[in-house]
Amino acid sequence: MTILLPTPRHLTLNDGSCELPENGFVVLNSADNQALRLAGQQLCGALGWEMVAGYLPSDQPAIQLNQLPNCVPHPQGYELTIEAGVGVVISAETPSGIFYGAQTVLQLIAQHGHSLPMLRVRDWPDFPNRGFMLDVSRDKVPTMETLYALVEMLAGWKINQLQLYTEHTFAYRQHPTVWAEASPMTGEEILALDAFCRERFIELVPNQNTFGHMRRWLTQPAYKHLAEAPDGCDTPWGWFDEPFTLNPSDPESLELVRSLFDELLPHFSSAQVNVGLDETVDLGGGHSKELVVEKGAGRVYLDFLLKIYKDVKRRGKTMQFWGDILMNHPELVPELPRDVIALEWGYESFHDFAGHGAIFAKSGIPFYVCPGTSSWRTVAGRTDNALENLRNAAASGLKNGAVGYLITDWGDEGHWQPLPVSYVPLAYGAGLAWGLDANVEMDAAAVASRFAFRDSAEIMGKLAFDLGNVYQTTDIQQFNSTILFNALQATPEVIQNHLNNEDETVVERLQKTQTQIEEILSRLEDVEIDLPDADLIRHEFTWAGHILRHAVQRILWVKNGKDADEAQKLARAAHQLIADHDTVWHARNRQGGYRESRERLEKMVESYG
């Protein structure tokens, strides 16, 4: 059965097949054939053909890449015809449309070889901006090899924006103490990644938080005086004993932000920049307390946002910012400039994308909907929640006229989840971002098996799907996380408090969870992954399953009274998990951040005595 990712909005399958010979030509036909060159190279590589530009005799077998005006009703759209006696013809108004059509053909070649089904496709996206944001600040900074492979995968799924969420992991030359142990992205690496993305019609959008989430900066002696609450304060998340947010009333705060833009932005060709501004939870808890009392927290926040906006505007850039704080002050939304882009985020299945999006839309503010992969604070994901979160965002975004769809992948509390854990929701989200109606009923597990894991046995996607749902068997629900993850990082006393709310069936539920984990992992023996990192993927999912099994055993250990002999067995198992964490981490990521992530596992071992 032919599967495509994304599924095109208009696809007509005809009887018969188009037999492509062993030798043929990919023909570039554009006023700018250089812009079509990569698509041509990819097709030639898949078929073993040659590439030419312009004229080709009509009797020569060919794939034609034709850039033509007004052939489809969207600048990123394409038309694809595969017909016996004619060959393969891709037509589009723009080079990006040609590229997207070529990705569809490449997926067909991967499934059918030189014997392609005869068909016709007319296709274009729902959302003009389709992005993926990867957290590179808590605590993983991927290697360049990892990033290049990720970009290749995203481009094949017609994603056209990438953001690397940054707090302190760019190598600012004016601020070396902040990133000294973080193995940051260098300017040269960003330039190279930007060029790699541009070839694949992906916009690498700079992303640097500039208000909240500045702990990595504000704990440094040279910057602590810029903190809203240098010694910590009470927040809706509980007591913070470290600074978190810049003091908006200190002019030096804005000078720091400007110095970051001075260094960061010239490395990107994008005309946009995501300045963060989310979760300023300690605003008004320190230096700006009197100002907040006088003007209100929302007004103080908006005033600082507008100062950053003016600086971004002066640089000729469009400012993106996370919209959560203004959702607490919706009366201020109409005061936003009409050329900012609000990023409406939320990660539970029931998040109110519809209501929040309507507020931005009513005020004429362009906005993205920003769901997530639900992989962080889980180890193996929350599959059902992620898919519903992604669906909800797409449907609500289209209803309210969102101009973009940004899939987020965070790394809170140690970034323990391996990157492939996010592949199932990422593939599903890529489909929805391109076309909701054509992709909403997608079999996400089957699609991930084929296009993310390249598993000819068609097992790996379902394995990842099921492991991401296994926490549900505990029947203990927790917000934006799972009980299994939290049990690994919580003290025995906190675990016991959770158990106090459960009846005696909790033991049966936990034992059933452990059995399910073992059954899911047993399927790894039969996968047939055709990727250079196939062995690593098996290792990553084995580690994820084993640490979830350890979480179950840890909860049962607490439930059964913390037996000393059992504690020693758990400690030995935990040391092996730490060793495996080391291997899995360094296969895709740099050294920086590893120590802090590992310390969370070591703290768990300490609880065993």
Cα–Cα nearest to 423, from 472, 473, 470, 380: 380
pLDDT cut 90: percent of the chain above it: 96
State pTM to two decimals: 0.98
Mean pLDDT of 360-386: 98
pLDDT, tens digit (0-9, with 9 covering 90-100), for 238-278: 898 999 999 999 999 999 999 999 999 999 999 999 999 99
CA dihedral 562, 563, 568, 574 (to 10 degrees): -30
The per-residue pLDDT for 57 is 74
pLDDT cut 70: percent of the chain above it: 100
Structural domain boundaries of the chain?
10-123, 129-175+201-442, 461-606
Question: In the predicted model, is pLDDT for residue 381 greater than 80?
Answer: yes
Q: Which residues pair with 30 in a beta bridge?
A: none
pLDDT confidence band for 358 (50 / 70 / 90): very high
pLDDT confidence band for 319 (50 / 70 / 90): very high
pLDDT, tens digit (0-9, with 9 covering 90-100), for 187-197: 999 999 999 99
Q: How big is the CA angle at 373 (ends 341 and 421), to the nearest 5 degrees?
A: 145
The per-residue pLDDT for 308 is 98
Cα–Cα nearest to 132, from 110, 111, 157: 157
pLDDT confidence band for 61 (50 / 70 / 90): confident
Mean pLDDT of 520-535: 98
pLDDT confidence band for 521 (50 / 70 / 90): very high
Average pLDDT across the chain, whole number = 97
Note whether 123 and 391 are within 8 A (CB). no
The per-residue pLDDT for 520 is 98
Q: What is the CATH number of domain 129-175+201-442?
A: 3.20.20.80
Whether 10-123 and 129-175+201-442 share one fold: the answer is no
Mean pLDDT of 579-598: 98
pLDDT, tens digit (0-9, with 9 covering 90-100), for 205-228: 999 999 999 999 999 999 999 999
pLDDT, tens digit (0-9, with 9 covering 90-100), for 542-551: 999 999 999 9
The per-residue pLDDT for 59 is 78
The per-residue pLDDT for 76 is 98
Q: How far is Cα 135 from Cα 410, in angstroms, rounded to an integer?
A: 5
Question: In the predicted model, is pLDDT for residue 234 greater than 90?
Answer: no
Question: In the predicted model, is pLDDT for residue 499 greater than 80?
Answer: yes
Helix ranges (H only) for 170-242 are: 176-179, 187-199, 215-218
End-to-end CA distance of the chain: 55
Question: In the predicted model, is pLDDT for residue 598 greater than 80?
Answer: yes
CA 427 to chain centre: 10
Mean pLDDT of 295-314: 98
Mean pLDDT of 415-437: 98
CATH 3.40.50.720 at 10-123, yes or no:
no
Instruction: Report the run of H or E that residue 361 belongs to, with start and end.
Output: helix 353-362
Question: In the predicted model, is pLDDT for residue 588 greater than 90?
Answer: yes
Question: In the predicted model, is pLDDT for residue 383 greater than 80?
Answer: yes
pLDDT confidence band for 233 (50 / 70 / 90): confident
The per-residue pLDDT for 581 is 98
* SS3 (DSSP) at 581: helix
CA 248 to chain centre: 30
pLDDT, tens digit (0-9, with 9 covering 90-100), for 432-489: 999 999 999 999 999 999 999 999 999 999 999 999 999 999 999 999 999 999 999 9
Strand stretches in 261-350, DSSP E: 272-274, 318-322, 341-345
Q: How far is Cα 76 from Cα 235, in angstroms, rounded to an integer?
A: 45
Q: What are the CA-CA distances from residue 602 to residues 341, 488, 548 (Å)?
A: 42, 10, 16
Note whether 403 and 370 are within 8 A (CB). no
pLDDT confidence band for 21 (50 / 70 / 90): very high
